[in-house]
Amino acid sequence: MTSGRTFLITGGNTGIGQATAIALGRDGGRVFIACRSAAAGAAAVERIKAESGSAEVWLLPLDLASLDSVRACAAAFLDSGEPLHVLVNNAGVGGVRGLTADGFELHFGVNHLGHFALTQLLLPRLSSSGPDARIVNVSSEVHYSAPGIDFTAVRRRTASFTGMREYAVSKLCNVLFTQELARRHSDVNAYALHPGVVASDIWRRVPRLARPLITRRMLTVEQGAVTSVYCATAPEVAQDNGLYYDKSAARQASNVATPELAGLLWKHSADWTGAC
């Protein structure tokens, strides 16, 4: 269920996102990749075209750390007049410290809030492009380690030295967002997933000497893209909604991922983004 369908992939210029774009393009999908760097994005478009054999690959500027940029990206896609069958919220940061342009903790702002805003803006196009429109949120098994969400802490600079505590919270947010999407929008199916522990560019800010030690036993980006492609295209999950996947199979999400917390996260996210 790929040929002739249109896919938008955040972070499609590198890592798992690029591998996902190549796989979808190879199977006949029309692919938009969204990323921050124009130069890196243009180079990625050419590589995706070359490796997929498809000429139907386009670039959209997107900085998920800026809600203004998110709005501009959504507007650019909507102005294209393209249908949107699948949105893959793939981009992310890990192991960093800081604030977004709008004053949110960096992991929360990029990994969750930017994608929340982008999804809200594109939902009408997804709904009108059905049947079988999908939203695929790339989460992580590290969400199991998050004890919950401190809604005060996500408005402050990263507190932990490694940023991994905040990264886990942001990945829990991906799962909660997926579940709440399923409750609120039955006409578009949402999926969260763990791609595996992948040696992708998400670890690019880890000190260079330590990076090989961290990534040497990890999966390749091609292996990491398998579950993303599965959730985006597999006919056997077309009736599923709000589930969490690992190794292309549904898996129980964290016990912390309750409807109450998902609803609270949605309310805060809508307030902070102006409901887009």
Cα 229 to Cα 136: distance, rounded to the nearest angstrom:
9
Q: What pLDDT does residue 75 have?
A: 98
Q: What pLDDT does residue 210 have?
A: 45
Per-residue pLDDT averaged across 14-36, rounded? Answer: 97
| pLDDT above 60 (res 66) | yes
Percent over 90 (pLDDT), the chain: 88
| pLDDT above 60 (res 42) | yes
H-run or E-run covering 34: strand 30-35
Per-residue pLDDT averaged across 195-200, rounded? Answer: 72
Full-model pTM: 0.93
**Residue that wins the pLDDT comparison between 130 and 255:** 255
**Residue that wins the pLDDT comparison between 130 and 87:** 87
Q: What pLDDT does residue 221 have?
A: 83
Burial environment of residue 61 by CB neighbours within 10 A (0 to 12, 13 to 18, 19 or more): middle
Contact 201, 179 (CB under 8 A): no
- Residues marked active site are found at 167
**Residue that wins the pLDDT comparison between 124 and 222:** 124
Cα 171 to Cα 245: distance, rounded to the nearest angstrom:
13
The average confidence (pLDDT) of the chain is 93
Percent over 70 (pLDDT), the chain: 92
Cα 219 to Cα 19: distance, rounded to the nearest angstrom:
12
**Residue that wins the pLDDT comparison between 57 and 275:** 57
pLDDT in tens, 244-266: 999 999 999 999 999 999 999 99
Q: Cα dist. 18→11, 190, 260 in Å?
A: 7, 21, 35
Q: What pLDDT does residue 211 have?
A: 47
Rounded to 5°, angle at Cα 192 from 253 and 211: 95
| pLDDT above 90 (res 215) | no
Tokens of 181: 């999407």
Per-residue pLDDT averaged across 57-84, rounded? Answer: 98
N-term to C-term CA, the chain: 30
CATH among 3.40.630.30, 3.30.450.20, 3.40.50.720, 3.30.530.80 for 6-272: 3.40.50.720
pLDDT in tens, 233-246: 999 999 999 999 99
Nearest CA among 225, 234, 173, 224 for reference residue 198: 224
Rounded to the nearest 10 degrees, the angle between the axes of helix 67-80 and helix 114-128 is 20
Neighbours of 212 (CB within 10 A): 10
For the chain, what are the domain ranges?
6-272
* Residue 85 Cα to chain centre, angstroms: 15
Nearest CA among 156, 165, 169, 191 for reference residue 112: 169
Per-residue pLDDT averaged across 133-146, rounded? Answer: 98
